[in-house]
């Protein structure tokens, strides 16, 4: 067994080889090596300190029993025989004391609470009122067991009821019992493995401490840069808006458990921060975040930088992002970070978050609760050099396909829609009706291409427009429009390559792009500043004697770029 594998012994009054098998095959950290004691020997084993099973160090011990085996008095109650509650609780106390005596056998003990099969209805509708009802007596048994084991620092009771609810109707199968003395179905054992591992991660310092969140369609519905914060789906009399608010509330609740929050978002920082500060239904405020990276740079690098600044390690981080491409990028570049699969439907965000088993922590201290503030004041602006791997290699893996075609009747409606609704990535922010756009294109010296983008994560459809006006030996870039959905996939550079190619084929001297500033299109300016074009105030020019190379990772169709 290597140093990272933890040992685990299962002691039970039913067959637990299934559980041992699931534990041994489970690849999630920490890795466990489990073996099961012969079943039906719980009390004799716990009373025999010389048994060979106790020889050698043991990292974890799971003692899983059925209530009727530990308490003969409870077994009588299940049979509707006379038995007093005091006798039942005496049985429980004896068992709890036996566990406590054995609490030094392993580093950590896990005691699943007692349940009975759902077909045991006890006294039916009177069960809860009866002092001999199967359910109320079982609740008292579990309460006494929990209270008695509570002082033991290394003994933890686990909620079997949640496993039963998750497993549903296959939680219990009488056939499994009669054929193999297996008390629970497969799903119940799987849930047990997940919870035990979550506990061991917490106890061995592997719990997650930081959640880094995307913004658009993650913390709120919509794209803040395009829609404006007033039009985001957040709160209001809307089921999706309500779901986003609840998701934010759930994140805020985690901060009270010592989890800190950060933001990594491709957005204009001032626009995003304004939304957080001013949207009336934002639950999370700026002070809830220990740090943020809001810009148009590679998200993985941004995350690495943020984690650096907060003086945390990558293994303590969870990244939540609605975009599968961004999730894949972060997983590939920063494999130590946990990036859960994320549902498409915001109504599932809260439940998905709360069901993640990575935030289990040892007992919360008041220091944990103040952790966000600590990180805000202690964070250092250190140099960012966490290794995130090569971005170019990442683009090659994406298999990005771009198709450029001229405007036609079929693509006109979508092109006009894109032109009129895009704000951030829009050079000149022209607004034209379908007819006006087609009329403009049909003037001989105008050209317009629509850009379709796909990669291995999906087909994004018509998401770009580039148009040009040829006047003598000068080509002016008129429209440069791109949907936020495809930013950062080298589509921007490819669109420039298309425009420059047109200028070169038209024997123009240069290509000129005039940036017309609006409240929202600063991202477009920032791109042109890095594009290689020469800048004079708000005019960007390219010498048409030089080609503008299509990025290597792009497969371009519909047009040939001269080399």
CB of residue 163 vs other proteins: minimum separation in angstroms? 16
CB of residue 25 vs other proteins: minimum separation in angstroms? 6
| Contact flag: residue 559 with other proteins (CB under 8 A) | no
| Contact flag: residue 332 with other proteins (CB under 8 A) | no
Please, what is the end-to-end C-alpha distance for the chain in angstroms?
Answer: 59
CB of residue 172 vs other proteins: minimum separation in angstroms? 12
Of 27 and 126, CB closest to other proteins = 27
Place of tokens 């025989």: 81
Helix runs in 292-449, H state only: 299-309, 324-333, 349-355, 366-369, 371-378, 391-398, 412-421, 434-442
| Contact flag: residue 31 with other proteins (CB under 8 A) | no
Segment interacting with other proteins (CB under 8 A) among 10-18, 48-56, 202-210, 307-315: 10-18
Question: Residue 259: CB partners within 8 Å, gap ≥ 6?
Answer: 208, 209, 210, 211, 359, 371
Of the candidate residues 12, 15, 301, 476, the single one contacting other proteins (CB under 8 A): 15
| Contact flag: residue 100 with other proteins (CB under 8 A) | no
CB of residue 177 vs other proteins: minimum separation in angstroms? 10
| Contact flag: residue 25 with other proteins (CB under 8 A) | yes
| Contact flag: residue 53 with other proteins (CB under 8 A) | no
| Contact flag: residue 2 with other proteins (CB under 8 A) | no
Given a contact cutoff of 8 angstroms between Cβ atoms, the answer to whether 219 and 283 are in contact is: no
CB of residue 23 vs other proteins: minimum separation in angstroms? 9
What is the distance between the alpha carbons of residues 334 and 354, in angstroms, rounded to a whole number?
A: 23
| Helical pair 186-203 and 17-25, crossing angle rounded to 10 deg | 50
What is the distance between the alpha carbons of residues 433 and 343, in angstroms, rounded to a whole number?
A: 36
| Contact flag: residue 7 with other proteins (CB under 8 A) | no
Given a contact cutoff of 8 angstroms between Cβ atoms, the answer to whether 386 and 308 are in contact is: yes
Q: How many Cβ atoms from other residues are within 10 Å of residue 327's Cβ?
A: 20
CB of residue 2 vs other proteins: minimum separation in angstroms? 16
Binders in 70-89 for other proteins, by CB under 8 A: none
CB of residue 164 vs other proteins: minimum separation in angstroms? 16
Q: Tell me which residue of 246, 222, 375, 368 sits closest to 308, measured CA to CA.
A: 375
Question: Residue 440: CB partners within 8 Å, gap ≥ 6?
Answer: 432, 446, 448
| Contact flag: residue 24 with other proteins (CB under 8 A) | yes
Segment interacting with other proteins (CB under 8 A) among 12-20, 48-56, 212-220, 355-363: 12-20
| Residues contacting other proteins: total by CB under 8 A | 17
Q: How many Cβ atoms from other residues are within 10 Å of residue 55's Cβ?
A: 8
What is the distance between the alpha carbons of residues 402 and 192, in angstroms, rounded to a whole number?
A: 47
Of 173 and 253, CB closest to other proteins = 173
Of 163 and 375, CB closest to other proteins = 163
Of 22 and 314, CB closest to other proteins = 22
Q: How many Cα atoms sit within 13 Å of 515 on the Cβ side?
A: 24
Binders in 157-196 for other proteins, by CB under 8 A: 170, 173, 175-176, 179-180, 182, 185-186, 190
CB of residue 301 vs other proteins: minimum separation in angstroms? 37
What is the distance between the alpha carbons of residues 380 and 388, in angstroms, rounded to a whole number?
A: 20
What is the distance between the alpha carbons of residues 248 and 407, in angstroms, rounded to a whole number?
A: 42
CB of residue 28 vs other proteins: minimum separation in angstroms? 13
Of 130 and 173, CB closest to other proteins = 173
Positive or negative: CA dihedral 114, 117, 122, 125: positive
Residues at the contact surface with other proteins, assessed by CB under 8 A: 15, 17-18, 21-22, 24-25, 170, 173, 175-176, 179-180, 182, 185-186, 190
């Amino acid at each position: 067994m290597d140093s990272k594998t933890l040992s685990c012994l299962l002691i039970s009054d039913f067959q637990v080889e299934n559980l041992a098998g699931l534990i041994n095959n489970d690849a999630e950290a920490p890795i466990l090596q489990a073996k099961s004691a012969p079943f039906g020997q719980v009390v004799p084993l716990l009373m025999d300190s010389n048994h060979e099973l106790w020889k050698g160090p043991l990292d974890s011990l799971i003692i899983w029993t059925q209530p009727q085996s530990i308490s003969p008095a409870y077994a009588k109650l299940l049979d509707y025989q006379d038995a007093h509650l005091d006798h039942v609780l005496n049985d429980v106390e004896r068992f709890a004391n036996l566990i406590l005596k054995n609490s030094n056998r392993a580093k950590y003990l896990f005691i699943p609470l007692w349940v009975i099969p759902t077909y045991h209805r006890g006294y039916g509708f009177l069960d809860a009122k009866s002092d001999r009802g199967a359910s109320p007596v079982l609740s008292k048994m579990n309460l006494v067991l929990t209270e008695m084991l509570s002082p033991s620092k290394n003994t933890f009771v686990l909620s079997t009821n949640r496993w039963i609810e998750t497993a549903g109707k296959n939680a219990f199968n009488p056939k499994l019992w009669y054929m193999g003395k297996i008390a629970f179905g497969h799903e119940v054992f799987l849930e047990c493995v997940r919870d035990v591992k979550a506990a061991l991660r917490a106890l061995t310092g592997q719990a997650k401490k930081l959640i880094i969140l995307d913004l658009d369609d993650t913390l709120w519905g919509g794209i803040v840069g395009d829609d404006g914060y007033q039009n985001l789906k957040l709160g209001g009399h809307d089921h999706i808006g309500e779901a986003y608010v609840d998701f934010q509330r759930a994140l805020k609740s985690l901060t009270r458990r010592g989890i800190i929050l950060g933001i990594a978002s491709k957005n204009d920082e001032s626009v995003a921060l304004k939304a957080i500060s001013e949207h009336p239904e934002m639950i999370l405020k700026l002070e809830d975040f220990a740090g943020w990276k809001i810009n148009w740079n590679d998200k993985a690098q941004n995350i690495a930088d943020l984690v650096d600044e907060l003086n945390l390690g990558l293994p303590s981080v969870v990244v939540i992002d609605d975009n599968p491409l961004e999730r894949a990028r972060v997983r590939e570049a920063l494999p130590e970070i946990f990036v859960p699969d994320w549902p498409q439907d915001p109504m599932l965000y809260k439940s998905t978050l709360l069901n993640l088993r990575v935030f289990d922590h040892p007992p919360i201290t008041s220091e944990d609760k103040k952790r966000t503030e600590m990180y805000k004041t202690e964070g250092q602006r250190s140099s960012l050099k966490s290794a995130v791997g090569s971005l170019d290699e990442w683009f090659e893996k994406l298999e990005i396909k771009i198709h450029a075609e001229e405007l036609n009747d079929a693509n006109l409606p979508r092109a006009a829609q894109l032109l009129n609704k895009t704000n951030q990535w829009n050079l000149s922010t022209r607004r034209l009706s379908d007819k006006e756009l087609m009329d403009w294109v049909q003037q001989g010296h105008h050209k317009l291409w629509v850009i379709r983008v796909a990669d291995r994560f999906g087909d994004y459809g018509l998401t770009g427009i580039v148009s040009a006006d040829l006047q003598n030996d000068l080509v002016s870039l008129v429209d440069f429009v791109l949907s936020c959905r495809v930013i950062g996939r080298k589509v921007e550079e490819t669109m420039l390559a298309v425009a420059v190619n047109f200028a070169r084929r038209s024997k123009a001297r240069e290509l000129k792009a005039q940036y017309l500033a609006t409240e929202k299109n600063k991202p477009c300016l920032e791109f042109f500043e890095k594009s290689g074009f020469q800048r004079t105030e708000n005019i960007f020019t390219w010498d048409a004697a030089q080609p503008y190379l299509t990025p290597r990772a792009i497969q371009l169709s519909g047009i040939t770029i001269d080399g």
